[in-house]
């Protein structure tokens, strides 16, 4: 809805026992309340291993845009453990962010929807993602 802050989202995820990577903090991913955005997150399955550049090509071909880290956090809050699917990882090739040290800008968030160890994690950019990953994109 655009009104919750990073602290509120992290608190909700903690209450739901949905683990969050320690690098995801209000300082590194600040959210400022604003009017709701009119967009929708969609999940697509490339069906094969892919690189970050190829991931963008798959999103573009599907008519989707790169998600912001804000939409990534809000999606995790809204769906958390409830995100179902055959493949365990949902990648969010979100906009780059400047973390507490320079190498953090080379990380992206992903939701691990494994039944045993679900959570919101950070993962390296510019690597080959396995065929067990799907992509989240935004339809405006």
Closest to 124 in 3D by CA, of 104, 139, 140, 138:
104
| 59-80 confidence digits (pLDDT tens) | 999 999 999 888 899 999 888 7
Q: How would you class 128 by CB atoms within 10 Å of its CB: exposed for 0-12, middle for 13-18, buried for 19 or more?
A: exposed
| 110-140 confidence digits (pLDDT tens) | 999 876 778 999 888 878 899 999 999 999 8
C-alpha dist (Å) from residue 111 to 2, 21, 29, 114, 121: 20, 10, 16, 9, 6
pLDDT value at 99 more than 70: no
């Amino acid at each position: 809805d655009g009104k919750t802050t990073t602290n509120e989202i992290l608190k909700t995820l903690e209450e739901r026992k949905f683990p969050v990577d320690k690098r995801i903090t209000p300082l590194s991913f600040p959210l400022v309340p604003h009017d709701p955005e009119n967009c929708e997150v969609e999940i697509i399955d490339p069906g094969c291993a892919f690189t970050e550049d190829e991931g963008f090509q798959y999103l573009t071909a599907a008519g989707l845009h790169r998600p912001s880290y804000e939409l990534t956090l809000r999606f995790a809050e809204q769906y958390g453990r409830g995100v179902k699917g055959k493949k365990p990882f949902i990648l969010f090739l979100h906009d780059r962010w400047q973390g507490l040290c320079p190498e953090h800008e080379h990380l992206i968030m992903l939701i691990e929807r494994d039944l045993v160890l679900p959570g919101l994690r950070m993962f390296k950019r510019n690597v080959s993602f396995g065929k067990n990953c799907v992509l989240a994109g935004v339809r405006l």
